[in-house]
Structure 1
Amino acid sequence: MDNEQYSQYYVAFLDILGFRNLVNNPKVLCGDILKIYKFLDQYNDMFFMFSKDGFEDMKNKIKMKIMSDSICIYIEADTPNALWWLVSFCTLFQYNLLVIDPCVFIRGGITHGDMYAKDDTMFGPALTEAYLLEEYNARVPRIIMCKNILDRGRAEANEQFRKPLDSLVFRDDDAFYALDYFAFLGETMLPRINTTISSYLDTTTNESIRQKYLYIEKHIRRRLEEKTNV
C-alpha cells in the first residue's frame, strides 16, 4: 500500500443540472433517467470503433465514475491526444442530452494533474480542482477549462488533432475556455431548444435558474444569427 502513487490524468467533473427535478417528477420513469447514463456506454463503444482505423483501443482508455447526478470522466495524460478524446467525449455527451425531450444540460470543469483511481476509490488534486471548477466557476450550463489546460493538451497532441481540438472550444466572456457543443446543433434543433429555454424564462423568477437559461439563450441566438448570415 505504501508504494501506491498518483498518476497524471485529464479529468472532467460533470454535474447533471435539474437532476433532482427529474427524479421527483412522477412523469419521468426510472428508464428515462437510465437513458442519460446509457449515452455514456454508447460513446465508449463508439470510440472503440475508432481503433479499427488505427487508433488505440479507447474503450479501455476513457474511464468514468457515476455518482447520481455527478459524473467523473478521466483519461491518463500520457494517452496520445488525451485532451482531444476527453473533450470530444464530453461534447458529444452534452449534445445527445440536448436531442432528448425535454433536453438536459450539464455543467462541468476539466483539469489536469495528479489523481489516484483504482476500483471504487478516487482522490487527488486534479479531481478536487475539477470539482471546484464545476461548482464555483462554471455556474451556468457549460464545461470549462483554463487556457493552460488547453495549451497543454494542444502541445501534447499530434499535429492533425490540434485544429479539431481548437474547433471544439471557444473563449467565453470570463476568459475560461468552454466546450462548444452549440456548434453541433442543427437548424431544426436550435429553435426547438430556444423555445424550451423561453418557456422556462417565461415562468420562473428564480434568479439562479434564469441566469443558466439566459446563458444558453444568448449562445443559441448567436448561432442562429451566424446561420442566417451565412
Structure 2
Amino acid sequence: MNVVKYDEDNPRLINSIVCAIDILGFSQMIVNSSKNGYGDNLLREINYLINKNKQCIIPNKYSKGKIKIFTDNMVVAYPIKGDGEKELDEILENVAEYQFNLSLEGLFVRGGISMGDFYINEDIVFGPALLDAHNTESKIACYPRIILDNNTVSKLQTYINYYDVAPQKNKILIDNDGNWFLNYLNTIFKYYTECSNEYEFERVQYELLLRHKKKIEEQLFIHRENMRVWDKYVWTANYHNYFCSIHFPKEKELEIARKDLLSWPRQISNQDT
C-alpha cells in the first residue's frame, strides 16, 4: 500500500488533518510555581502527565502521523490519503481521549482542528493548516474545548451524509455560538472493552464522570475571584452537566450544582466598610 508520509529527506507540503492544543492557564502555573518554590515539582508532574497520556494520541503505524510537544503546546498531524475520513476519525478519537485523560488530572485544554497543507519533522512545523489550527485554538476556542474550523466542519458534514446513522455524530457537539467542538466525555464509552460485564462498565463510567466533576469544582473554587478564568470552567461545568443529563439522567449526583455556576452579588457587610 502506498503510504502518504512526511518525508525527512524531501520536505514538502502534504494535505493533512492538524490539531493544535494548549493547556489552559499553564503560564500562570509556571509563574506561581516559581514564586512559591515548587518549579521542579511542577516540571516533573507535567512531564509525567504528558508522557503518560500522550500514548493515546500517538498515530498508528498506518496513518504515519506526527506529534510535536513543546511544554503546554502540542501539534498532532495526520497526512491524508483519499478523502480524509479515516484520518479525521482517528484524530478526533485520539485527541478526545487525550483531552479527557488530562481533564481527570485537573488539566483542561483548548484547541483547534484544521485541514490543509502542512509539513512536520523533528525541527519544524510549517504550513497554512497549522496557522488555521492555531488561530482556531487561540482566537475562537476560548473555553476548554477543541474546535473544528469551517473547512473541517464542511468535510465532516460530507462524511456524515454518507451514512444513515453517522459514526462521527457522537464525537462532536455544536455549541451555542455555532462552533463544532470535540465531545471528549464520549471517551467513557470506550472503556466497555476493558470491563467484564455491563454492571462494571456502568460503575467505571460513573466513577470517571464523578472524578471529572470534582476536578471542575476544584477549578471553579480556585478561580472564584477571577471572573475571566472562572467563566471558562463554568462553560466546562455546563458541558459536563449536559452530557450527564443526556446519558445518565437518573444520576443527579453526577451534575455540578447550579448554585456553583452563578455569580451571586451580596450586600455590604461590616467587613466591607
> Which fold has the larger relative contact order, with Cα–Cα distance below 8 Å and residues 6 or more apart in sequence?
1
| Pair 1:33–1:10, CA change in 2 (3 A) | same
Q: Which moved more, 1:210-219 or 1:143-152?
A: 143-152
Once the two structures are TM-superposed, the CA of residue 94 in structure 1 deviates from its matched residue by 0.8
* Contact 1:81–1:156 (8 Å) recurs in 2: no
| Pair 1:195–1:44, CA change in 2 (3 A) | closer
1:152 maps to: 155
| 1:1-230 equivalence runs, <5 A | 5-23=12-30, 24-25=32-33, 26=38, 28-43=41-56, 48=60, 57-58=61-62, 61-78=64-81, 81-100=86-105, 103-153=106-156, 155=158, 163-185=166-188, 186-204=205-223, 205-226=225-246, 227-229=248-250
| Pair 1:169–1:4, CA change in 2 (3 A) | same
Distance, in Å, in 1 between the alignment partners of 2:25 and 2:215 is 14
Q: TM-score, normalised by structure 1?
A: 0.80
Runs of 4+ with deviation above 6 angstroms: none
Once the two structures are TM-superposed, the CA of residue 147 in structure 1 deviates from its matched residue by 4.9
Q: 1:164 corresponds to which letter in structure 2? A: P
| Pair 1:191–1:44, CA change in 2 (3 A) | closer
Once the two structures are TM-superposed, the CA of residue 99 in structure 1 deviates from its matched residue by 2.6
Query: What does the per-residue CA deviation read over 1:94-121, in whole Å, with 9 as the maximum and x for residues that have no partner?
Result: 1111233xx2111000001112323311
Once the two structures are TM-superposed, the CA of residue 155 in structure 1 deviates from its matched residue by 3.9
For the aligned residues, what is the CA RMSD? 2.8
Distance, in Å, in 2 between the alignment partners of 1:202 and 1:44 is 30
Larger radius of gyration: 2
Unaligned 5+ segments in structure 1 are 49-56
Distance, in Å, in 1 between the alignment partners of 2:47 and 2:136 is 26
* Contact 1:115–1:125 (8 Å) recurs in 2: yes
- Secondary structure class of the residue paired with 2:68: strand
1:52 maps to: none
| Number of residue-to-residue matches in the alignment | 215
* Contact 2:53–2:101 (8 Å) recurs in 1: no
Q: 2:127 corresponds to which letter in structure 1? A: G
- Secondary structure class of the residue paired with 2:173: strand
| Pair 1:126–1:43, CA change in 2 (3 A) | same
* Contact 2:143–2:232 (8 Å) recurs in 1: yes
Distance, in Å, in 1 between the alignment partners of 2:183 and 2:221 is 26
- Secondary structure class of the residue paired with 1:228: coil
Q: 1:209 corresponds to which letter in structure 2? A: V
